Amino acid sequence: MIKQYNYLPIDQVSIGEQSVDAISSLIGKEQLRNTIIVTSKSVSQISFFKKVEEAFSESTVFNNITQHSPIEEIDSIAREINGKGVKFMISIGGGSVIDSTKVLRSKTSPDIPQIAIPTTLSAAEFSHIAGYSENGEKKGIRAKNLVPKYIYLDPVATLETPTKLWRSTGIRSIDHAIEATLGNGFADLRISLSKISIEKMMQNLEGNWTNNRQECQVASWYSYMDVYDSPMGFSHQIGKIIGARWNIPHGMTSCITLPEMLRYYSSSPPDGLARFASELTGEKDGSKAIALLADKIAAFIKELGLETRLSDYGIKVEDISYIAEKISQKDEMFIEHLRNML
């Protein structure tokens, strides 16, 4: 059997401060008027963004993107820029902003280079997948050419990100790293990178210095290094459903779903996840290792002050069957683990 590794067409990942100057050099002064900047209203108020606005004053700013990337917001920008000769799109914000820009490119021209400056740890900038919401449901598109061409991991851009948002998206990144081990690609690569990613994240997520922020950004990158060949598991699938339907931020969905889904997997451990959990916990038995990992992640979430339940967002027992049906996973053990999230 032939195994393949798919490289995503990212031209450059830049790590460190001074990203505004670097992007100015990349675009060139003559192209600034043909550049649009996509962000959210909250990010448009931070000091870093003010510096961007000042440096790129000839560019057009769209700051109307909200959580879960409603398609109406994206369509509104697409109508406004169609035929305007846009040469670059800069997205500054979290996963919703970065994904919205991918969808926007799909509706205008995927060939327009996207420059991403993340302010959270969702890792959307490293993915070829673009999620959006429509009529209360999560939808998405995927294509290699949708991944941003240029990515700037600038810790200064994250300093005003609210603590709860920063930490919860860090858990989202841990969710990526863990569920990446479920795929059928190159196990050595995904397990090694996932292990480094989680260790970096757990050592730095509570810190607020720029070096802590930078390490978390690198951890986020490593968590999604093999995203093309690693379909995510049940934690992500549940998160997409409850996020769009009950308006739960993606980071918080992982806080709810990840420990319990690890416990579900522990009863019949997938090979990659069992090996990964054993390497991380030191427990040789795969089932026990995954259960230990679940407890470790749950304790870390609690330590961060992020412990939460489905019921905190108005989800009731009668909604469990809807969630299970949307995932087409109706075995009683799975449903019992869903109930445990209430």
* Chain segment 257-315, per-residue pLDDT in tens: 999 999 999 999 999 999 999 999 999 999 999 999 999 999 999 999 998 899 999 99
pLDDT at position 172 is 97
Pairing of strands 88-93, 114-118: parallel
Which string of DSSP letters, residue by residue, matches 133-181?
Answer: EETTEEEEEE-GGGS-SEEEE-GGGGTTS-HHHHHHHHHHHHHHHHHGG
SS3 68: coil
pLDDT at position 307 is 84
CATH class for the region spanning 12-158:
alpha beta
CATH number for the segment(s) 173-340: 1.20.1090.10
Identical topology for domains 12-158 and 173-340: no
* The two three-digit tokens of residue 241, written as one number: 């459903």
Helix (H) or strand (E) segment spanning residue 88: strand 88-93
Count each helix (H run) and each strand (E run) in the chain, helices first.
13, 8
Q: Residue ranges of the domains in the chain?
A: 12-158, 173-340
Conformation bin of residue 69: beta by default, left when phi > 0, alpha when psi is -120 to 50: left
Where residue 68 falls among pLDDT bands split at 50, 70, 90? Answer: confident
Residues 6+ apart with CB under 8 A from 100: 38, 65, 69, 73, 74, 77, 91, 130, 132
| Per-residue pLDDT at 325 exceeds 90 | yes
pLDDT at position 3 is 79
Q: Which of 134, 75, 144, 138 is nearest to 108 (CA)?
A: 75
* Helix/strand/coil (H/E/C) assignment for every residue in 274-294: HHHHHHHHCCCCHHHHHHHHH
How many other C-beta atoms are found inside a 10 Å radius of the C-beta of residue 216?
29
Pairing of strands 129-134, 137-142: antiparallel
pLDDT digits (tens, 9 = 90+) for 172-182: 999 999 999 99
pLDDT digits (tens, 9 = 90+) for 2-61: 778 899 999 999 999 999 999 999 999 889 999 999 999 999 999 999 999 999 999 999
pLDDT digits (tens, 9 = 90+) for 103-129: 999 999 999 999 999 999 999 999 999
Helix (H) or strand (E) segment spanning residue 324: helix 320-327
pLDDT at position 136 is 81
pLDDT at position 29 is 87
**Helix/strand/coil percent split, the chain, to 5:** 60, 10, 30
pLDDT at position 92 is 98
pLDDT digits (tens, 9 = 90+) for 147-187: 999 999 999 999 999 999 999 999 999 999 999 999 776 78
- Between CA 115 and CA 159 the distance in angstroms is 20
DSSP 34: G
